[in-house]
Amino acid sequence: MPPLVLAPNLTVSRAQRGTMDPRLAPLQTRSLANLPPAVVVTAEFDPLRDAGAAYADALHAAGSWSEHIRGPGMVRGFFDMGRWSPAARAVLQHATRRIGEVLRGQG
C-alpha cells in the first residue's frame, strides 16, 4: 500500500498566502487521481475547515481514497490540546486509530 497522506494542519507564511502552488494548495493540482490514501482531519472552528472538507471530497471524486474526520467544537491546533481537553483527546485518538487502520490496510 502506498504511504498515507495526513493533512491535519497546514501552516503557511504570509509570503506564501494566496499562492496557487499545489504543494501549498493541493486543490490547485491538475489531478488528484491515483494518490495514496488520505485521512483529512479538520476542526469546526478553523479557517481552513472548508478547504479540508473540499480536499477530501475532491480526492474521493477523483477516485482516490479519503476519509474526512471532523472535530466538532474543536479550534485550529487542537491536535496539541489533548493533554488538557478530553474532547480534543477523543478526536485525536479516533484520528490516530483510523490512520493506523489505513496503514495496516484495514481502511
pLDDT, residue 3, reads 42
3-state SS, residue 68? strand
Domain borders along the chain are 1-6+34-107
Secondary structure of 36-64 in the HEC alphabet? Answer: CCEEEEEEEECCCHHHHHHHHHHHHHCCC
User: Among 57, 79, 75, 76, which residue's Cα sits nearest to residue 67?
Assistant: 57
pLDDT in tens, 67-107: 999 999 999 999 999 999 999 999 999 999 999 999 999 87
Spatial strand order in the sheet of 66-75: 5-6, 38-45, 66-75
How far is the C-alpha of 50 from the C-alpha of 17, rounded, in Å?
Answer: 16
Predicted confidence (pLDDT) at residue 20 exceeds the cutoff of 80: no
pLDDT at 14 over 90: no
pLDDT in tens, 33-48: 999 999 999 999 999 9
